[in-house]
C-alpha cells in the first residue's frame, strides 16, 4: 500500500529554509550596512544569529527548552507492556501517550489509562512503526478519543507494508483523527508549564526504522525527561554533534536497554539522575544487555525495569522528581 500523506502543522508560519535564508540575509545586510565599523566589533551578535539558525533547524542547546512556570504536577508513567514500550505523560491540563506496545497490549494500555480516570487523550505519539511500539495503538485509538496523532518522518525506502502499520493508519482515517508529522525543533504544549520538544532524528539519511525514532524531551519547571524510542548509537552521536539539548533528569534507555543504544558518551551527555528500561521478562533478546546495565551502574545512575518493577511512575512538582514502582 502506498505511503499516506501526513499533514504538517507545527511551525507553519514559514518553512525552515525561508527562515534560514532570512537569518543569513540579516547577517549579510548588517555587514554591508555597518561596513568598516565592524572592525574590532564584538562578534557575539553574529554568533547569536548563527545560534538562532541552529536552534530553528536542530533545536540545539544554544536555545534552552522553554522555561515556563510549572503548576500542579507532571507525571510520566512507564507502562509495563512486556517486550515493548508505552509511556503516558499527564499534567493537570493535558495528556500524551508515547507508543502502545505490541499488538496484544492495546487493552493493557487502555486499562492503565482508565485506572487514572482519563476518558480521552490529547496526543498519541508513535516514535517509529515497529510492532512493539505501535502494535497496540490501533486498539487505543478505536476505544478512546484522541485529539491528534503524531508521527515522525519515515523515508520512502523504509515505509512499512505491515498489517500492524496499516491497521493504525486505517483507524486514524476511519476516526478522522488529525495526523501530524513532527520534526526536530517542534514543540507541543501540554499545559501547566509542560512543554515537549522534538530533538530528533536530525537526519533523514537512515537505514533502519529504529533510527527514525522520534526523540523528545519534556520540560516541566526545573525538571526534565528524555524519551529515546529505539534510536541507536549513530543517531545518538548525531544528536551530540548537533548540540541537542540532552541534559535531563530522567531518560528512557533506548531500544529496551540494548547495547546498540545508550552509549557511554550519550549517557555522559544526558547525565540523568534516573533511567527506565522497558523490557519483557526473560525476553529472547536478552534485554537489557549486560553492557547497558554495567554502564548505568558504573555511572551510579538508579534505573528501573518494567520486567522487575512493573509500572513505573515518575512524578515532578517542577522542582524535584519522585519515583514509585508497582512492585517493590
Indicate whether 50 belongs to any domain: no
Indicate whether 101 belongs to any domain: yes
More confident residue, 40 or 225: 225
For residue 101, give the H/E element and its range: none
Q: Detail the DSSP E strand segments found in the chain.
A: 74-78, 87-90, 95-98, 121-126, 146-151, 179-181, 187-189, 194-200, 215-220, 223-227, 250-252, 274-277, 303-305, 312-316, 321-325
Residues 95-129 have pLDDT tens digits of: 999 999 999 999 999 999 999 999 999 999 999 99
Structure confidence at residue 205 (pLDDT):
86
Show the domain range for 168.
74-325
Residues 41-57 have pLDDT tens digits of: 444 444 445 544 554 44
Indicate whether 29 belongs to any domain: no
CATH number of the domain bearing residue 274: 3.60.15.10
Residues 232-253 have pLDDT tens digits of: 999 999 999 999 999 999 999 9
Structure confidence at residue 49 (pLDDT):
52
**Is a pLDDT exceeding 60 seen at residue 11?**
no
**Is a pLDDT exceeding 50 seen at residue 17?**
no
For residue 234, give the H/E element and its range: helix 233-241
Indicate whether 91 belongs to any domain: yes
Residues 189-236 have pLDDT tens digits of: 999 999 999 999 988 888 899 999 999 999 999 999 999 999 999 999
Indicate whether 65 belongs to any domain: no
Residues 306-322 have pLDDT tens digits of: 999 999 999 999 999 99
Q: What is the pTM of this model?
A: 0.82
Indicate whether 287 belongs to any domain: yes
First to last CA, the chain: 46
Residues 176-193 have pLDDT tens digits of: 999 999 999 999 999 999
Q: Which three cell numbers mark 253? A: 534507555
Indicate whether 233 belongs to any domain: yes
For residue 257, give the H/E element and its range: none
Tell me how many domains the chain contains.
1
Indicate whether 89 belongs to any domain: yes
Amino acid at each position: 500500500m502506498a505511503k499516506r500523506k501526513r499533514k504538517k502543522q507545527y511551525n507553519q508560519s514559514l518553512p525552515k529554509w525561508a527562515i534560514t535564508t532570512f537569518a543569513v540575509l540579516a547577517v549579510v545586510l548588517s555587514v554591508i550596512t555597518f561596513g568598516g565599523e565592524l572592525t574590532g566589533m564584538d562578534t557575539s551578535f553574529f554568533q547569536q544569529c548563527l545560534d538562532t539558525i541552529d536552534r530553528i533547524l536542530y533545536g540545539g542547546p544554544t536555545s534552552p527548552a522553554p522555561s515556563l512556570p510549572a503548576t500542579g504536577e507532571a507525571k510520566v508513567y512507564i507502562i509495563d507492556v512486556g517486550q515493548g514500550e508505552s509511556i503516558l505523560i499527564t499534567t493537570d491540563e493535558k495528556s500524551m501517550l508515547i507508543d502502545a506496545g505490541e499488538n496484544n497490549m492495546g487493552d493493557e494500555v487502555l486499562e492503565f489509562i482508565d485506572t487514572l480516570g482519563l476518558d480521552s487523550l490529547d496526543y498519541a505519539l508513535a516514535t517509529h512503526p515497529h510492532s512493539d511500539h505501535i502494535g497496540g495503538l490501533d486498539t487505543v485509538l478505536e476505544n478512546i478519543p484522541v485529539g491528534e496523532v503524531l508521527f515522525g518522518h519515515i523515508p520512502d525506502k523504509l515505509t512499512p507494508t505491515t498489517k500492524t502499520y496499516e491497521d493504525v493508519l486505517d483507524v486514524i482515517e476511519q476516526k478522522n483523527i488529525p495526523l501530524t508529522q513532527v520534526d526536530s525543533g517542534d514543540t507541543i504544549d501540554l499545559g501547566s508549564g509542560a512543554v515537549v520538544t522534538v530533538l530528533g532524528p536530525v537526519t533523514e539519511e537512515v537505514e533502519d526504522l529504529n533510527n527514525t525514532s522520534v526523540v523528545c524531551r519534556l520540560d516541566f519547571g526545573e525538571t526534565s525527561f528524555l524519551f529515546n524510542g529505539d534510536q541507536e548509537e549513530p543517531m545518538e552521536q548525531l544528536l551530540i554533534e548537533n548540540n541537542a539539548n540532552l541534559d535531563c533528569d530522567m531518560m528512557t534507555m533506548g531500544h529496551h536497554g540494548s547495547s546498540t543504544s545508550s552509549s557511554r558518551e550519550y549517557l555522559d551527555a544526558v547525565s540523568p539522575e534516573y533511567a527506565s528500561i522497558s523490557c519483557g521478562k526473560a525476553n529472547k533478546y536478552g534485554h537489557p544487555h549486560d553492557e547497558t546495565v554495567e554502564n548505568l551502574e558504573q555511572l551510579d545512575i538508579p534505573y528501573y525495569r518494567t520486567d522487575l518493577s512493573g509500572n513505573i511512575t515518575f512524578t515532578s512538582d517542577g522542582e524535584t522528581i519522585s519515583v514509585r514502582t508497582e512492585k517493590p
